[in-house]
Structure 1
Amino acid sequence: MTGHIPAQLHTDISLFYARHMRAMDEGRVADWTSDFTEDAIFITNARPDHQIGRSQIAQGAHTAAQALNDVGDRRRHCLTNLEVYRVNPESTDIRVHSYALIVRTPPNGPSATEFLCTCTDELTTIDGRWLIMRRLVERDDLCGE
């Protein structure tokens, strides 16, 4: 890890993630997907193949959102422990490590933890806007010993 992060930058990134996760939780897949660069890479141990490019990421997100909608379940992404740092001192790009607690609620409840993930994102700014270039999501329940 490298590079001091000013408090305001940490706040800006926290607000970015609050908006980003709420967009997915509310089924606004296009808004959520627009936070990725056109050539972004999404890697997770929950799927055998990487999603490469915003359009593939959007397809996966639409499928997931539709499956939840079909059964009437709600899913909430509770992001915590954001660790934000510069990739290198000369770069404006940042890396963010976080935990995501995923809570699922069927119609009429009860809510339950679905899984816990460790996430690592690489972000850049384009036209003054933070965008995700690479996302790595590792679900704890799928990690081997």
Structure 2
Amino acid sequence: MYAEVAAFYARQMRRLDEGDAEGWAATFTGDAVFRLSTRPEPMRGRAELVAGARAAVAAIAATGEQRRHMTGMFEIDEHPGGELHVRANTVVYATDASGASRVHQVCTCTDTLVRDAGQTHELLVRERRIDVDGESRAWHPGQAGREQ
């Protein structure tokens, strides 16, 4: 299970880092909810996820930086029906045109993963909560899917 979850996040984050907003959003269920501690309202559904990812890609391009998400330290809890609750840490690196890199932010990601009902049975994110270190609105394990 650990290897499958790690591979899922590697593919998902690579899509985001490469600017593939549609491909990244396709790793979520159609009715997914994405909460980010730096945004006042969650994004709901793939259309909002695509729009949010496109905006982020454009904002990053405007800085002249390349971002890389390194996600790991997975805590995986399997629930009845195959639902997975995953908690992980992500370090986001920013590299400028000269090749100098720095840590942009460190985050905790709390996800609910489900299997695609189609033939592939791939993992998809149904709910995601990203808490950026240093933000005042703390999120704690077990709160995935609940409004603050």
The TM-score normalised by the length of structure 2 is: 0.87
From 79, 91, 97, the equivalent of 1:101 is 91
Partner of 1:37: 29
Partner of 2:146: none
Structure 1: which 4+ aligned runs deviate by more than 6 Å? none
| Mapped contact 2:105–2:132 kept (Cα < 8 A) | yes
Alignment of 1:64-83 (within 5 A): 64-83=56-75
Q: How far off is 1:33 after superposition?
A: 0.8
Alignment of 1:1-145 (within 5 A): 9-86=1-78, 88=79, 90-126=80-116, 127=118, 128-143=121-136
| Mapped contact 1:20–1:32 kept (Cα < 8 A) | yes
Letter in 1 for 2:83: D
Distance 2:53 2:36 in 1: 13
Q: How far off is 1:144 after superposition?
A: 5.5
Distance 2:57 2:6 in 1: 23
> Which stretches in structure 1 are left out of the alignment for 5+ residues?
1-8
- Number of residue equivalences: 135
Q: How far off is 1:143 after superposition?
A: 2.9
Distance 1:25 1:19 in 2: 10
- The root-mean-square deviation of aligned C-alpha atoms, in Å, is 1.3
Letter in 1 for 2:43: Q
The TM-score normalised by the length of structure 1 is: 0.88
